[in-house]
Amino acid sequence: MEVIITAVDVAFTVYSYLLIFRILLSWFKHNHYQPIIRFVYEITDPYLNIFRKLIPPFGMLDLSPIVALIVLQLLQMLVYRIIVFI
């Protein structure tokens, strides 16, 4: 059971870091065609698009990635509690 908890925790943590990296990418000029950046976009876009549809940007400020990160953290805690309960 401990292996499952660790694996799920690592998966959520890695995805959280990818989201943070994606948020930082939006603040700096970068080449969209670099393989690592394309990978980050391909992995994070489907999840972020859910929140972009729900939360419109306020002028130049897009809060959807921050909300997406908070929801991901809440999901991580929920899944952890469910696994521990089982």
Q: What pLDDT does 21 receive? A: 96
Q: 38 with 32: CB under 8 angstroms?
A: yes
Residue 50 CA neighbour count, 13 Å, CB half = 9
Give the predicted TM-score (pTM) of the model.
Answer: 0.88
Residue with tokens 């700096």: 28
Q: What pLDDT does 58 receive? A: 85
Report how many domains make up the chain.
Answer: 1
Task: With CA atoms as reference, report the closest residue to 41 among 65, 64, 18.
Answer: 18
Question: What does the pLDDT look like over 19-52, one tens digit per residue?
Answer: 999 999 988 898 889 999 999 999 999 999 999 9
Between residues 49 and 1, which one has the greater pLDDT?
Answer: 49
Domain containing 28 equals 2-85
* Residue 18 pLDDT greater than 90, yes or no: yes
